Amino acid sequence: MIAFFSVVPMGKESLSEDVSKVIDVIDKSGIEYRLTSMGTIVEGSPDDVWDLIRKCHDKMRELSRRVITHVAVDDRESAVDSIRTKVNDIEKHLSRKLKT
């Protein structure tokens, strides 16, 4: 399973300190991930991915009275190394490397 998600504390001007604490949870999880400026892409078993998203939401909830969590999931049975494969497939079609 591959998922893109973001966990946003509401009612705060600066987000980076709280977001960094959530990223620490992701980094320590052992799950494959890619950090972007708008959210994080994670890849793993469905149980591992959902568990991690819940832990991230709970961590942010410890830091903020209100939290919005956005999740998009691609759950494909035969997918392996989806994070890398999806980008590689696009690069092949374009015949060039992209910024990732």
Which CATH number covers residue 66?
3.30.70.930
Determine the pLDDT at residue 65: 93
Determine the pLDDT at residue 81: 66
11: left (phi over 0), alpha (psi -120 to 50) or beta: left
Domain extent, residue 58, equals 2-94
Determine the pLDDT at residue 80: 66
Determine the pLDDT at residue 73: 96
Determine the pLDDT at residue 99: 84
Residues of the chain with pLDDT under 50: none
Number of domains in the chain: 1
Rg (CA), the chain: 15
Determine the pLDDT at residue 84: 78
CA distance 12 to 2: 29
Residue 8 belongs to a domain? yes
Residue 100 belongs to a domain? no
CA distance 16 to 8: 10
User: 56 burial class (0-12, 13-18, 19+ CB within 10 angstroms)?
Assistant: buried
Residue 99 belongs to a domain? no
Residue 91 has which token pair? Answer: 């690069």
Residue 29 belongs to a domain? yes
